[in-house]
Amino acid sequence: MSNAKERKHAKKMRNQPTNVTLFSGFAANRGGKRHSGGGKPAQMPRQESHSGTLQQRDSKVPHHLLSDPDAKEQSSSKAIFRKRGGWKAGPEGSSQEIPKYITASTFAQARAAEISAMLKAVTQKSSNAMVFQTLPRHMRRRAMSHNVKRLPRRLREIAQKEAEKAVHQKKEHSKNKCHKARRCHRNQVLEFNRRQKKNRWLETHIWHAKRFHMVKQWGYCLGERPTVKSHRACYRAMTNHCLLQDLSYYCCLELKGKEKEILKAVSQMCTIETGLTFAAVQCLSGKRQGSLMLYRANKYPREMLGPVTFIWKSQSRPGDASEHRQLWIWLHPTLKQDILEEVKAVCECTDPIKLSLCTPDHVTAPQENSQTELPDEKIGKKRKRRDDGENVQPVKKVFGDRTRDPHQPCSWMSPTTGIVISDLTMEMNRYRLIGPLSHAILTEALKAAPVHTGKEDTEKTPHCWWVETCKNPDNISLHHRQGAIFELLGGVTSPAEIPAGTILGLTVGDPRINLPQKRSRALPDPAKYQDNEKVRQLLLEGVPVECTHSFIWNQAICKSVTENKISDQDLNRMRSELLVPGSQLVLGPQESKIPILLIQQPGKVTGEDRRGWGSGWDVLLPKGWGMAFWIPFIYRGARVGGLKEGLVHSQYKRSPNIPGDFPDCPAGIVFADEQATNLLEKYKRRPPAKRPNYVKLGTLAPFSCPWAQLTQDWESRLQTQEEPSRAVDPSEEEGSTRRDQVLCAAPSGKTLLVSVDEARELEEMDTECQDQAGAEQARARDAAETHGVDAAGLLCVVRERKLLKELSAWCGPGSGGSWAARRAHSRGQQDLSQEACVSILSRFPRALVWVTLSLLHRGSPEPHTMICVPAKEDLLHLSQDQLYCGPQESKHGDPFKSQFLKEKEKKKMEKRRRRAGGAAPEGLAGEDPASGHKALTQGLWSGPLPAVISHCCRLLLGFVTQGDFSMAVGCGEALGFVSLTGLLDMLSRQPAGERGLVLLRPPASLQYRFARIAIEV
């Protein structure tokens, strides 16, 4: 018998009681004690006749082990078990003496004790294993561990007893079921408010955080792009379905006062040359939304502040100029501070007004209590907020913004003009629906609020303002008209059919009540309104002026609507109490009434192709109702996009994106600097062998666009080509002095203003001589301080509509033909001539032009792609071969290679000296940051930039700011700026049939590709 079987048998017999005998032969063989019937132990004679094998095995057992009865029992049991064939009653020929008499009561008592001990030994587990673990492996099932009925019936009772023990009982579940919920703060709203100290959350932040890549920009946490692959899906949504965006981070400035005073103040910041102003008739009546460019007061065309949209509140008495009006100006958060300061200056608003709307007092007390409790807790231990029981006050969610200091006032008043300026940022939610299905989603998700009748109990409703409104028959009639017009939108196939900027006011019910059970796609029903005359009138004339009225202009009503909102928990509880699950929930007078404002977005309004693409509607809501409208829109088929989708939307509309496509705006300059810093850090993280060498590729500025130097170089080039015999008036001396100056980049990254001669000397400077470079840079700084002129302030972008129309006509192919000439003359435009170019450049000496570029063949442009002027041989080669891609740039030499090798050698020597323990000499002690020297980066141009337009074999005309493969046109498209001087020079030199052809070259490529330039107005 193997040792494994012996250990197994010994393990089974270790809990066997000594007073229980299995059989007489076994007891006689082992010589153990056995109780007789009389209750006294009887000594059994030791068996002498054993087999030889057994005697030999017993003789090997030590005497001190056999002296113990248990040891004897163990040895004898082992001896018998070793026999072949398993257990037997005893050795052959063995006999035992039968007692002569027994006492029945004593014998039964002894046997009962033995039986109870046997049953106890059988029922008691000998290990920590569960009952189901005692079964054979082929009978075990996973469900036996938690379901007793999966066990055989004979073991169910034992398993049930095991399950009832405290050790095997499941721990009592807390209210927070999952591990993630247990880690949550007890007061989540207060914890969320604490996490918004640096970057404010939108009301849809938690929904976005679960599905989007979040970024921290402009003082907010915003969704950049979805986590799923949805680039093409979002484009299809914008084109055929509906795309939803949260634009609640946009800022709103409110101006209150007399109409005459407001127009007098804000008219200084805009001009009619760029388009409509604040005094446009359709916008002034409150019927349409307007858009314009704001400049500093009386500084046009320079010192631009940024683009804005504005809305006037409709007049109660049309034609009354003395009536107090309200004006909302919507702008990007990066433009807010500059525009707000300028508006305050022109309106003479200096006295701040402290309002309770701007001070979140309900949050300061809990924050102070939390700070005082922190020292009492153990350092390094996770802090959890303690509940104070009934003393805890409910914490309200903070609504505000991060574009201003919370301790600063948000309203200002002018003592002279009476104008009041208020900052309404984050006081409203703004959602944008883009696509042809916007109408269907709006009409299905939103329903006009029911009119309050006198039969209903007014004491039960918390919406007293709606009760008072319904008491006026005129208000009820207006509400019905607004609801009828809103229903007519369901029969319009696309928002582009509605007049641009149409405004519609409406009061709707709670959209959560009409929420469908499953997500579906809302579809329009144009056949329902095909023969309706009202639809035709709506498409031609738009919404009537009186229907633009909305209670969202009243801040008191908006505050009441926010505070009396029914929570989702109460709404779900009411749904659960319905007799028929899934039926319509009727709240009666308790249903919330929400004032909203619908604003039509025109989409693509420039150019001649794809007019109206990307049109949609903007929805303005009171704060606190963000998610109540967000989810119903999604359940009707709207697809959500982020910042990236907004950039694609503006790119396909061929409109500049805020703030990256406004180089003459302070916010655009800051954005360009941040973008260049991020790209430079990303470039440095890669080793030199795994990144492009832009010096050899002939790319001077791969991460930024030196607009000022570009325009100055073109101006200097044009001056050198002109004859010096031209007379200069004394009044033009200052202007000529400024035109003789160019910008150079200092090693610290700042732009310095130097003269043309000094710039030429800097270009001819030997890059290997560091001392001479330091002297030139020092002289450049002195020249900048002497001149004291900011050349960046001279830069501007052409936005004059008349001039842009002329340039658009000149850029087209065959602009000198009969058809183009007739169109230009019919519009009162002049032909491209030397006199026309001189008159334009006299007004805009250093200007940029927004252009659209379409590649002729293959290629996908990217940001910072160079726009270059093609040579005559390039155009000749293209005319001979239509599949000709373009020329190729030759590789440039690296003038900084020797400097880089010297610095590398110095670092090696300095490292060796440090290992040797010696002090480094003065020449190798490292560069002094105060000396002005900047560390070289292999692959990038170091020091002042040379002439950017003539650095390569093709003249540089401008740069691309947006570029990618366009799914709208099926080829590569790019948007960017070109120098006005260079553009006129190129167009005047090109043949009439080939005008508008340019070359594009990415920063990391040597290949030029042909593209056609266009200016859309």
72-104 pLDDT, tens per residue?
Answer: 444 444 444 444 444 444 444 445 677 778 888
Residue 988 CA to residue 524 CA, distance in Å, equals 51
Q: pLDDT tens-digit profile of 652-705?
A: 999 999 999 999 999 999 999 999 999 999 999 999 999 999 999 999 999 999
- Residue 911's Cβ-side half-sphere holds a number of Cα atoms within 13 Å equal to 6
Q: Reduce the DSSP state of residue 212 to 3 states and report it.
A: strand
Of 165 and 374, which is predicted with more confidence? 165
For the segment 981-992, the average pLDDT, to the nearest whole number, is: 90
- pLDDT confidence tier of residue 890, bands split at 50, 70 and 90: very high
Q: Residue 511 in contact with residue 628, Cβ under 8 Å?
A: yes
Percent of the chain with pLDDT over 90: 39
Contacts of 280 (CB under 8 A, 6+ apart): 288, 290
Question: What is the predicted pLDDT for the residue at 934?
Answer: 63
Question: What is the predicted pLDDT for the residue at 747?
Answer: 34
Residue 402 CA to residue 201 CA, distance in Å, equals 9
- Residue 63's Cβ-side half-sphere holds a number of Cα atoms within 13 Å equal to 0
Residue 418 CA to residue 438 CA, distance in Å, equals 41
Question: What is the predicted pLDDT for the residue at 974?
Answer: 94
Question: What is the predicted pLDDT for the residue at 581?
Answer: 83
pTM value surpassing 0.75: no
- Residue 993's nearest CA partner among 793, 753, 815 is 815
Q: Which helix or strand (DSSP H or E) is residue 658 part of?
A: none
Helices and strands in the chain, H and E counts: 34, 27
Query: Please, what is the average pLDDT of the chain?
Result: 78
- pLDDT confidence tier of residue 408, bands split at 50, 70 and 90: confident
Residue 938 CA to residue 894 CA, distance in Å, equals 10
Residue 271 CA to residue 503 CA, distance in Å, equals 24
Question: What is the predicted pLDDT for the residue at 96?
Answer: 62
Q: How far is CA 352 from the centre of its chain?
A: 35
Q: Residue 589 in contact with residue 565, Cβ under 8 Å?
A: no
For the segment 441-468, the average pLDDT, to the nearest whole number, is: 80
Residue 897 CA to residue 540 CA, distance in Å, equals 68
Cα dihedral 406→407→411→414 (10° resolution): -150
Q: Residue 910 in contact with residue 920, Cβ under 8 Å?
A: yes
Q: Which residues pair with 217 in a beta bridge?
A: 220
Task: Please state, in angstroms and as integers, the Cα–Cα distance from residue 333 to each residue in 330, 557, 708, 990, 999, following that order.
Answer: 9, 26, 25, 43, 36
Residue with tokens 């990618």: 964
Q: Is the pLDDT of residue 345 over 80?
A: yes
- Residue 952's nearest CA partner among 1003, 990, 900, 988 is 1003
Contacts of 417 (CB under 8 A, 6+ apart): 257, 258, 261, 265, 347, 348
Residue 287 CA to residue 398 CA, distance in Å, equals 33
- pLDDT confidence tier of residue 793, bands split at 50, 70 and 90: low
Q: Is the pLDDT of residue 63 over 60?
A: no
What token pair was written down for 717? 């080039």
Q: Residue 611 in contact with residue 605, Cβ under 8 Å?
A: yes
Q: Residue 302 in contact with residue 793, Cβ under 8 Å?
A: yes
Question: What is the predicted pLDDT for the residue at 194?
Answer: 84
Q: Is the pLDDT of residue 166 over 70?
A: no
Question: What is the predicted pLDDT for the residue at 919?
Answer: 57
Pairing of strands 751-755, 304-312: unpaired
> Highest mean pLDDT range out of 203-217, 709-723, 790-804?
203-217
Q: Is the peptide bond before 659 cis (omega within 30 degrees of 0)?
A: yes
Residue with tokens 């270790």: 14
Max CA distance (Å), the chain: 156
- pLDDT confidence tier of residue 18, bands split at 50, 70 and 90: low
Of 588 and 273, which is predicted with more confidence? 273
Q: Reduce the DSSP state of residue 966 to 3 states and report it.
A: strand
Question: What is the predicted pLDDT for the residue at 1001?
Answer: 94
CA Rg value for the chain? 44
What token pair was written down for 293? 């460019």
What token pair was written down for 419? 């104008």
Question: What is the predicted pLDDT for the residue at 457?
Answer: 61
Residue 570 CA to residue 484 CA, distance in Å, equals 31
Task: Please state, in angstroms and as integers, the Cα–Cα distance from residue 418 to each residue in 251, 257, 259, 314, 348, following that order.
Answer: 23, 6, 11, 20, 9
Residue 802 CA to residue 800 CA, distance in Å, equals 6
Q: Residue 307 in contact with residue 797, Cβ under 8 Å?
A: no
Question: What is the predicted pLDDT for the residue at 317?
Answer: 67
What token pair was written down for 166? 């405290």
Q: Residue 1000 in contact with residue 974, Cβ under 8 Å?
A: yes
Q: Reduce the DSSP state of residue 710 to 3 states and report it.
A: helix
Of 204 and 453, which is predicted with more confidence? 204
Residue 11 CA to residue 6 CA, distance in Å, equals 9
- pLDDT confidence tier of residue 131, bands split at 50, 70 and 90: confident
Q: pLDDT tens-digit profile of 698-737?
A: 999 999 999 999 999 999 888 887 755 454 444 444 444 4
Residue 757 CA to residue 779 CA, distance in Å, equals 12
Indicate the range of 49-53, 559-563, 629-633 predicted with least confidence: 49-53
Other CB atoms within 10 A of residue 125 CB = 13
- Residue 80's nearest CA partner among 31, 15, 42, 20 is 31
User: What is the DSSP code string of 120-188?
Assistant: HHHHS-SSS--GGGGS-GGG--GGGGT-GGGS-HHHHHHHHHHHHSTTTSPPPP-SS-SHHHHHS-SSH
For the segment 996-1014, the average pLDDT, to the nearest whole number, is: 93
Cα dihedral 384→385→387→391 (10° resolution): 170
What token pair was written down for 502? 């149409």
Question: What is the predicted pLDDT for the residue at 743?
Answer: 35
Q: Residue 683 in contact with residue 703, Cβ under 8 Å?
A: yes
Q: Which residues pair with 308 in a beta bridge?
A: 292
DSSP state of 888: B
What token pair was written down for 191? 């914890």
Give 434-496 as a 3 state SS string: ECCCHHHHHHHHCCECCCCCCCCCCCCCCCHHHHHHHCCHHHHHHHHHHHHHHHHHHHCCCHH
Question: What is the predicted pLDDT for the residue at 327?
Answer: 93
Question: What is the predicted pLDDT for the residue at 868?
Answer: 95
- Residue 249's nearest CA partner among 338, 337, 333 is 333
Q: Is the pLDDT of residue 347 over 70?
A: yes
- Residue 143's Cβ-side half-sphere holds a number of Cα atoms within 13 Å equal to 6
Q: Which residues pair with 909 in a beta bridge?
A: none
Other CB atoms within 10 A of residue 111 CB = 13
Residue 154 CA to residue 119 CA, distance in Å, equals 15
Other CB atoms within 10 A of residue 178 CB = 8
Question: What is the predicted pLDDT for the residue at 154?
Answer: 87
Question: What is the predicted pLDDT for the residue at 734?
Answer: 43
Question: What is the predicted pLDDT for the residue at 319?
Answer: 63
Is 416 exposed, middle or buried, given 0-12, 13-18 or 19+ CB atoms closer than 10 A? Answer: exposed
Residue 706 CA to residue 156 CA, distance in Å, equals 84
Look at the chain and count its residues.
1017
- Residue 79's nearest CA partner among 91, 63, 68 is 91
Q: Residue 395 in contact with residue 187, Cβ under 8 Å?
A: yes
- Residue 546's nearest CA partner among 509, 500, 504 is 504
Task: Please state, in angstroms and as integers, the Cα–Cα distance from residue 856 to each residue in 247, 514, 850, 1009, following that order.
Answer: 36, 51, 19, 8
Q: Reduce the DSSP state of residue 720 to 3 states and report it.
A: helix
Q: Residue 340 in contact with residue 422, Cβ under 8 Å?
A: no
